[in-house]
Amino acid sequence: MRIVEILFYDTNKIKLVVEMPDANRYTTDTFPELPISLFELFPHLAEHRCHNEYGYSFRREARNTEIPHLLEHLIIELQTQAQRHEVLKGETQWNWRVDPRGTFHVHVEYENEQLVLAAVRLAERIVNAIDRQDLQVIDIDAEVARLRELAQLGADLRGQPPPEGPPRGLELAAVPAGIKGGRAPARRGSRKRRQS
Kindly list the residues in this chain that would bind Zn ion in the complex (CB under 5 A): 50, 196
The residue among 48, 61, 60, 72 whose CA lies nearest residue 182 is: 61
C-alpha span between 166 and 143 (Å, rounded):
16
Residue closer to Zn ion (CB basis): 74 or 151: 74
Q: In whole angstroms, how close is the CB of 51 to Zn ion at the nearest point? A: 6
Kindly give the pairing relationship between strand 103-109 and strand 192-195.
unpaired
Q: In whole angstroms, how close is the CB of 68 to Zn ion at the nearest point? A: 11
Residue closer to Zn ion (CB basis): 53 or 134: 53
Q: In whole angstroms, how close is the CB of 196 to Zn ion at the nearest point? A: 3
CB under 8 A, 24+ apart: contacts of 114-117? 114/150, 114/151, 114/153, 114/154, 114/157, 115/79, 115/82, 115/83, 115/147, 115/150, 115/151, 115/154, 116/14, 116/75, 116/79, 117/6
What does the chain come to in residues?
Answer: 196
Q: In whole angstroms, how close is the CB of 159 to Zn ion at the nearest point? A: 33
Residue closer to Zn ion (CB basis): 67 or 150: 67
Q: In whole angstroms, how close is the CB of 120 to Zn ion at the nearest point? A: 16
φ/ψ of 139, rounded to 5, equals: -90, 95
Residue closer to Zn ion (CB basis): 23 or 179: 179
Residue closer to Zn ion (CB basis): 50 or 122: 50
CB 163, CB 155: distance < 8 Å: yes
